[in-house]
Amino acid sequence: MVDVRPAEPADVPAIRRVARGGWHAAYDDRLGADAVDAVVDDWYAPETVREYVTDDDVVYLVAADDPVVGYAAGGPDPDAAAATARLGAIYVRPDRWREGIGGRLLEELTDRLADRGFERLRIDVLAANDVGRAFYERQGFEAVARGEVELAGTVCGEVTYAGPL
């Protein structure tokens, strides 16, 4: 059974590996492997991940089964009311999907965000991420908006989910 705990700076390389594997599994067929690598290299640069892991405003968790097999991060949503948090990311190694790890991470993350006074969670996910969207819907979140985002020069559809904590 995996242990869900706060992320530490020493977890940064493992978080980056999980992110790369999750992004390739979810988006290679839609964005291409080179574009996925470009996004991950940008969004998950070591100093960027380290900054979020050590930011007191962010709840950053890892699921560790020696090694880290998943992570989740969330915090204040700068684009919403004060009581709304935003899920920054949640990924599990693809070879560990469907083991309940993502659900455990999300549950622990939402509990910790609620303890900080947040009442709602906003989640932005690429429309093409069928696995992610199905996961959020199983967790009780509802699609509330649609938009577009540009990733590595490609315009992609995006779905915003929201729900109470």
Q: What pLDDT score was predicted for residue 101?
A: 96
The string of pLDDT tens digits covering residues 95-138 is 999 999 999 999 999 999 999 999 999 999 999 888 899 999 99
Q: What pLDDT score was predicted for residue 80?
A: 77
Contact assessment for residue 49 and residue 88, using Cβ atoms and an 8 Å cutoff: no
pTM of the entire predicted model: 0.93
The string of pLDDT tens digits covering residues 14-60 is 999 999 999 999 999 888 999 999 999 999 999 999 999 999 999 99
Q: Dihedral angle at the C-alpha atoms of 17, 20, 23, 28, nearest 10 degrees?
A: -140
**DSSP H or E stretch at residue 138:** helix 130-138
Q: What pLDDT score was predicted for residue 64?
A: 95
- Spans of all domains in the chain: 3-120
CATH of the domain spanning 3-120 = 3.40.630.30
As a whole number of angstroms, the distance between CA 106 and CA 140 comes to 12
Residue closest to 5 by CA, chosen among 117, 104, 146: 104
